[in-house]
Amino acid sequence: ASLCSGKRVDFEKIHVTGISKITAQDIAFAKELGCCVKLLGIYHRDGDRVDARVHPCFVSNENLLSNVNGVINAVYLKCDNLGETVQTGAGAGRLPTASAVVADLVSLARSVDQGSRKALPMGWFNVDNSATLVPISETSARYYLRFTSRDACGVLAKITSILAENNISIETIIQKNVKDPGKVSIVVITEKTLDCKASKAVDAIDALPEIVEKSQVIRFLA
């Protein structure tokens, strides 16, 4: 993000969500929807601001990133003139790790040789040239929302009503029984909407007495 924007992007200020809450049920739903789940670091320019974030995404099986598996990492670039390109390479394992360690040692040796114990900074990487980040609440996406509720009448109506109150359009609804008796899993795929609207709606739905687990929220890769 810093290289692309020419500004210092503070990693501590980037929104980060990991994969610890992704379940086998979410992966199964992704497959049913013609997608897979990938953990992505996303960057793009938003005027004078930087949109940089890390979170899981539903990625269409038609996207090149869907085929990146195992220890392989990939960088997907979309440029004005170059178009779309993907660079892939091993991101784990003894040889890639050894290569990274040697690169760090070389960088450290060069910096010590110049009288510094810190890695040599790039010219634009300073506090005075910090990027302004787009808050995650101002980003937008299609959303996969999974709710687990008691098997009771009117739950689906309450969920759709709350989504409508927050001006969130629904693309698809899937309802299935789960292993626990008396519970159902309701999956809602939304149209593109603001994160702040999706978060507000999910909080309201989670407050319903019929909802028995904290709801799952995963963005679709645009």
Render pLDDT for 72-84 as a digit per residue (tens, 0 to 9).
999 999 888 888 8
- Rounding to the nearest 10 degrees, give the CA dihedral for residues 63, 66, 67, 73: 110
The shares of helix, strand and coil residues in the chain, as percent rounded to the nearest 5, are 30, 35, 35
Q: Among 6-10, 63-67, 111-115, 140-144, which range has the highest average pLDDT?
A: 140-144
Q: Is residue 176 part of a domain?
A: yes
Q: Is residue 128 part of a domain?
A: no
Over residues 4-31, the mean pLDDT reads 93
Assess whether 191 and 169 both reside in one domain. yes
pTM for the whole structure? 0.86
Backbone angles phi, psi at 97, to 5 degrees: -65, -45
Eight-state DSSP code of residue 132: P
Q: Any idea what the Cα angle at residue 78 is, between residues 72 and 82, rounded to 5°? A: 110
Q: Is residue 126 part of a domain?
A: no
Report pLDDT for 157.
96
Could you give the count of Cα atoms lying within 13 Å of 113 in the half-sphere of its Cβ? 6
Q: Is residue 14 part of a domain?
A: yes
Report pLDDT for 123.
53
Report pLDDT for 129.
84
pLDDT of 117 over the 80 cut: no
Assess whether 156 and 177 both reside in one domain. yes
Q: Is residue 101 part of a domain?
A: yes
Assess whether 140 and 211 both reside in one domain. yes
Report pLDDT for 93.
84
Assess whether 141 and 213 both reside in one domain. yes
Backbone angles phi, psi at 171, to 5 degrees: -95, -45
Assess whether 150 and 113 both reside in one domain. no
Report pLDDT for 116.
59
Render pLDDT for 146-166 as a digit per residue (tens, 0 to 9).
999 999 999 999 999 999 999
Over residues 46-57, the mean pLDDT reads 94
3-state secondary structure at position 124 = coil
Assess whether 164 and 214 both reside in one domain. yes
Q: Is residue 131 part of a domain?
A: no
pLDDT band at 134 (very low <50, low <70, confident <90, very high): very high
Assess whether 111 and 53 both reside in one domain. no
Q: Is residue 127 part of a domain?
A: no
Report pLDDT for 118.
58
Q: Is residue 130 part of a domain?
A: no
Report pLDDT for 188.
98
Total number of domains constituting the chain: 3
Report pLDDT for 87.
92
Assess whether 186 and 205 both reside in one domain. yes
Q: What is the CATH number of the domain that holds 164?
A: 3.30.70.260
Assess whether 85 and 146 both reside in one domain. no
pLDDT of 124 over the 60 cut: no
Which residue segment(s) compose the domain that 144 sits in? 136-220
Over residues 3-25, the mean pLDDT reads 92
Assess whether 59 and 44 both reside in one domain. yes
Q: What is the CATH number of the domain that holds 6?
A: 3.30.360.10
Taking the C-alpha atoms of residue 89 and residue 151, their distance in angstroms, rounded to an integer, is 47
Assess whether 51 and 74 both reside in one domain. yes
Assess whether 173 and 112 both reside in one domain. no
